[in-house]
Amino acid sequence: MERMTDNTVVLRNVSKVYRQNAIAVHALTEIDLDVPRKDFMCLSGPSGSGKSTLLNLIGGLDRPTTGEITVDGQRVDQLPKGELARLRLHKIGFVFQAYNLIPVLTAIENVEFVMQLQGVATAERREKALQILMEVGLEGLESRRPGELSGGQQQRVAVARAIVSEPSLVLADEPTANLDSKTAENLMQLLVHMNTEHNVTFIFSTHDKRVMDFSRRLIKLRDGRIVEDERRQ
C-alpha cells in the first residue's frame, strides 16, 4: 500500500546481520533514519561501517534482518521480488562506483535501457535520452560505447541513466571513488544540479572529505551505527 509522506525514505529499527562461517556479522544495528524529499545526503564512514549495506537495503537490493524500510510510501522490506523490481524501476535510480554501464550498448542506449524496461515509446525515450545526455555534458558522445569514454564521462552516463526516468530517489555508492579530484568535483556539481533541477532525493556514500562538502546533510556511520547526523548549509 502506497502512503504519501514528506519523507522519501524512512528507516525504523533496521538491522542487518550477515552470517560468515557460522559467525554473525552485524553490518547495521538499529538504524532509525528519515530522509526528506529533495534531500542531498551523504553517508560517510570507514570501510566496513555499513554505508553500502545501508544503500543496498534502501534500494531494495538486499533485505534487512529486522526493521522497517519505507521508500516513497512503500514498505521495501515486505515487497515480493517482482514488486521490488518494479519499485526500483520506477522510483529508484542507481549510480555505482564502477559505473557499471552495459559495455555493448552506446551511451544513449544505456540511458534508454531503463526507459525501455518501463515501456516508454521509442521516439519519446530517444528524445529524453538525448536531452539528459546534453544536460550532463555529453552532447556529441551519444554513439560512443563505454569503452570509448573516460571514467568521468562514463559516470556521467550512469548519472543520466539514473535520473532519466525521473525517480524519487537516487542512490550513489561512492560515485567518485574511481575519479580524479577534478572530475569528482565536476560530477558532484552535476549531482547537485540534478538534485535542484529535477527535485530528486540523493543519498550517496563517500570517503572523500571534499565530496562530503557538497552534501546538505552528513550521516556518519561506525560499526553499523549512526554516530553523527549533521545538517549543513
Partner 1 sequence: MGITLRFAWRNLWRHPRRTWLTASAIAFSATLLVFMITLQLGAYDLMIDTSLRVYTGQLQVQRTGYLDKPQIRSTIPEAASLAARLRGAGFPAVATRAQGFALASSGSRSYGVPVVGVEPAHEKEVSTIPGRVTEGRYLSDVRAQEAVIGATLARNLKVKLGDELTLLGSGKDGSVAATIVPVVGIFESGNPELDRHFVQLPLATFQDVFSMGSDAHAIVLSGLDLRTLAQAATRVEARLPKDQDLVLRHWEELLPGIKEAIQADMVQNWFTYIVLIVVVTFSILNTFLMSVLERTREFGVMLALGASPYRIGSLVMLESTLLALLGILIGMGCGSGLAVYFHFEGFTFPGMAELYGQFGLPGVIHSKLSFTTLTLGPAVIFVFTVAAALYPALRIRRLTPVEAIHAV
Site residues (vs partner 1, CB under 8 A): 56, 59, 61-62, 82, 85-90, 94, 96, 100, 102-105, 109, 112-114, 116-118, 161
Query: Minimum Å distance from CB 146 to partner 1?
Result: 11
Residue with Cβ nearer partner 1 (63 or 207): 63
Query: Minimum Å distance from CB 126 to partner 1?
Result: 10
Secondary structure (H, E, C), the chain: CCCCCCEEEEEEEEEEEEEECCEEEEEEEEEEEEEECCCEEEEECCCCCCHHHHHHHHCCCCCCCEEEEEECCEEHHHCCHHHHHHHHHHHEEEECCCCCCCCCCCHHHHHHHHHHHHCCCHHHHHHHHHHHHHHCCCCCCCCCCHHHCCHHHHHHHHHHHHHCCCCCEEEEECCCCCCCHHHHHHHHHHHHHHHHHHCCEEEEEECCHHHHCCCCEEEEEECCEEEEEEECC
Query: Minimum Å distance from CB 93 to partner 1?
Result: 8
Residue with Cβ nearer partner 1 (119 or 233): 119
Residue with Cβ nearer partner 1 (166 or 228): 166
Residue with Cβ nearer partner 1 (42 or 158): 158
Residue with Cβ nearer partner 1 (38 or 90): 90
Query: Minimum Å distance from CB 163 to partner 1?
Result: 13
Query: Minimum Å distance from CB 87 to partner 1?
Result: 8
